[in-house]
Amino acid sequence: MQNRYIDIIEIAKIANVHPSTVSRALNNNSRISEKTRNLIQQIALEYGYVPDSAARGLSQRKSMIIGVIVSDISNSFYAHIISAIENAMNAQDYDVIVSSSHFDADAEARCIRTMISRRVDALVICNPTPSSIPLLESVRDRFPIILCDSVRPCSSFDRIYVDESFGISCAVSHLVAQGHTKIGTISDISDAPRIHVFQEKLREHGIEVPPEYHLLSDDFDYPSGYRSVYQLYEQGCLPTALFCIRDNVAIGALRAAYELNLSIPDQLSIIGYDDGQIAEYAFSPLTTIHQPVEQIAANVVQCILDRLQNADLPPKEICLIPEFIVRQSA
């Protein structure tokens, strides 16, 4: 009968060999004869042997765990990065654990402390809040820390980020070229970096965003964009164009525009940010700023691997360029 929890000592008894022989055979050590290797590996397969990563890590003074903290685990942008890290690190026999802060600074601090308690071998934190940086700096000697999607400069850690100013500048130039002067924004906080840059770029063209055109929402979700367009419409201050802090907010805005019989983009142009898969397949394909997620993920993985091999490397700063994608919504 198959035993899912068989260990190398039990395999050694069945094969009538020493446990160290089992360990070497399971790792394809050339010092073990092919006949013995095949026998031991066949026994392991038949009995459902699963390697004990914790024991392996203990022998190497490692946990064999990589930690990843994101602000929103449901966001396709972060999901893609998590998947890339998992695929690459699983191939190196590392496990990956993921936590989500839900855009909350206190929750993010708890996530970091959890990763510390799990003794991760490296930590990737996406878009960290400013208040988390001192905590991260206090544990930088324990394990490598990689900042991903971090718009705020930080010379203490490897940082992979996208030049948001470039992508937003392209979006503003596009709207101005179309003759828009009444341009609004939908964000979660009034001083969100993307919105701040967007308004700065508008000012360079002599355009100010009145307070009534700047909508705040509690979440980065579809309902927030939906509710915001209705609010603008009912207050009689609907602009001719909206810049949304994320694609899902923009998709919600498109839905409200459809229900209000607003012609897209003739009466209302809508621009998102991220270019997740849903952007291209929205009922009015979304004009948005494309995040080079494949490049971001590849660089994050390379930083992890480099740091695990040499923790004393000087911090790297990798800046990637986004692309402005014009579709039917603007």
Half-sphere exposure of 17 (CA within 13 A, CB side): 21
CATH class label, 164-290: alpha beta
pLDDT at 51: 66
pLDDT at 2: 46
How many angstroms separate the CA atoms of 275 and 246, rounded? 9
Q: Name the segment(s) of the chain with CATH classification 3.40.50.2300.
A: 62-163+293-322, 164-290
* Beta carbons of 65 and 97 less than 8 angstroms apart: yes
Q: What is the pLDDT along the chain (330 residues), one digit of tens a residue?
A: 344 467 788 888 999 998 888 888 887 787 888 889 889 888 888 887 766 655 555 455 677 899 999 988 878 888 888 998 998 888 888 889 999 998 888 999 999 999 988 889 999 999 898 889 998 988 888 899 999 988 777 888 999 999 999 999 999 999 999 999 999 999 877 667 888 899 999 999 999 888 889 888 766 678 889 999 999 999 998 999 999 998 989 999 999 999 999 999 999 999 999 998 889 888 899 999 999 988 998 999 999 999 988 888 899 999 999 999 999 999
The topology under which CATH files domain 62-163+293-322 is Rossmann fold (3.40.50)
Radius of gyration of the chain (CA): 25
DSSP string, 195-263: HHHHHHHHHHTT----GGGEEE-S-SSHHHHHHHHHHHHHTT---SEEEESSHHHHHHHHHHHHHTT--
* Beta carbons of 235 and 141 less than 8 angstroms apart: no
Q: Name the segment(s) of the chain with CATH classification 1.10.260.40.
A: 8-51
Contacts of 144 (CB under 8 A, 6+ apart): 121, 122, 123, 158, 303, 304, 307, 308, 311
pLDDT at 219: 67
Report which secondary-structure segment, H or E, holds 29: none
**Could you tell me the CATH superfamily of domain 8-51?**
lambda repressor-like DNA-binding domains (1.10.260.40)
pLDDT at 262: 95
How many angstroms separate the CA atoms of 149 and 137, rounded? 18
pTM above 0.85, yes or no: no
Q: Which sign, positive or negative, has the C-alpha torsion 232, 234, 235, 241? A: positive
pLDDT at 218: 67
Neighbour count for residue 116 (Cβ, 10 Å): 16
Residue in the block written with tokens 């039917």: 328
Report which secondary-structure segment, H or E, holds 271: strand 269-274
pLDDT at 193: 82
How many angstroms separate the CA atoms of 71 and 207, rounded? 32
